[in-house]
Structure 1
């Protein structure tokens, strides 16, 4: 006979399985753009986002909406003939970014799997979160640093034929570093939970 408790457990397992599948799909979607970018680079065409402060074309307006001033912030460029070192740095930045996304998505999926297996404070989860947090910290630094240097070199190489519209600079998102610190802190929470679970086994 089906009871409300069994229905609730079935729904819980189904929800957790859905979360595992969602984490896997999201991880795959995060990997597709960098993999496609690396494939283009292997063919000699380098897709790269460059910073710029080129003006947006506009004209004055006698009435209604108008533009007083406007500039572009970035440009997506498919470049050819870049030096091997430039292409290598851009590819390294993309590769480290993809690896970071894959490790993080894998850790999230593993967490939901442990919940599905009713082992939320398993020792391996502590290791998984430590790896994910370290990947977010080191991976974002390597991806931003190496990729940023590659984009600066690409801007320098392309400026002579583009009227110096590209800035020899790169942007970096520090939010990923904060996420890495948060995940590492979470690993200590899981470690504490695992210790408490081990200490209380057999007491109830």
Structure 2
């Protein structure tokens, strides 16, 4: 399936922008090596992080609207382990290995007519998945801004780190669970047939069993958001301690 022209243009623009950012960051790093002032790298990091956060929010909004408003939805659905059967007596040439078992357990589909529940779960799950890295980028931007202002241990940095911890932990888990629920609902709606008919196919006893995967329900609890959330919470504690220590030091002067 050919990609739309706007998608190719947008992809090239993003790649070019990333290349420019890498180049600017490299130049800033080189200047920092020749100077005791780390502000060039911090400034570049601030700009990149702020841009990253903005793009994440925009991408999340576009993703949610795309799922909710479009008739056709691209969605990943779980299926029971499946591999299509070839008609009896089929010989395949050119392979260098033999398939002894196994199959795929998920498939990316473009589906039409999905229920509102499946769409909403999938849309929110995908949106949260894009917002989580945006929250991390926002925290980095706030930290860099305060660092440039000479307030490395400002209370807002600790608060932002704690908010990021909650967003990453809760948002990361919710994104996975809601995406799993939406995908499982879509699998049942698209593949959960109760009957049907087909013309006889030579060498295939049951076309449905041979060529149509069966839906299944999958719900996986990810652990990485919990670990990442705890890490950001610990970072928030460090910033709070640094802020308290800074106030105590200023009180002695």
Tell me the TM-score range normalised by the shorter chain: 0.7 to 0.9
The reply on whether 1:142 has 2:174 as its aligned counterpart is yes
The reply on whether 1:187 has 2:236 as its aligned counterpart is yes
CA contact (8 A) 2:39 2:148 kept: yes
Which deviates more from structure 2 when the two are superposed, residues 81-90 or residues 28-37?
A: 28-37
In structure 1, the residue matched to 2:196 is none
Structure-2 separation of matches of 1:48 and 1:63: 31
Structure-1 separation of matches of 2:59 and 2:74: 11
Alignment of structure 1 residues 1-204 onto 2, 5 Å: 8-10=35-37, 12-28=38-54, 30-31=56-57, 34-41=60-67, 42-52=69-79, 53-55=81-83, 64-160=96-192, 163-201=212-250, 203=252
5+ residue gaps, structure 2: 1-30, 194-210
Q: Deviations over 1:11-69 (max 9, x none)?
A: x2111111122223443554565444323221222221122322277977899444333
Compare CA radii of gyration and give the structure with the larger one: 2
Cα 1:189–1:13 change in 2 (3 A) is same
5+ residue gaps, structure 1: none
Cα 1:89–1:64 change in 2 (3 A) is closer
Structure-2 separation of matches of 1:176 and 1:15: 28
User: Any idea what SS the aligned residue of 1:46 has?
Assistant: strand
Q: Given the two structures, how large is their TM-score scaled by the length of structure 1?
A: 0.81
Cα 1:84–1:154 change in 2 (3 A) is same
Structure-2 separation of matches of 1:63 and 1:101: 42
Quote the offset at 1:174 in angstroms: 1.6
Aligned alpha-carbon RMSD (Å): 3.0
Cα 1:57–1:113 change in 2 (3 A) is farther
CA contact (8 A) 2:57 2:130 kept: yes
Quote the offset at 1:199 in angstroms: 0.4
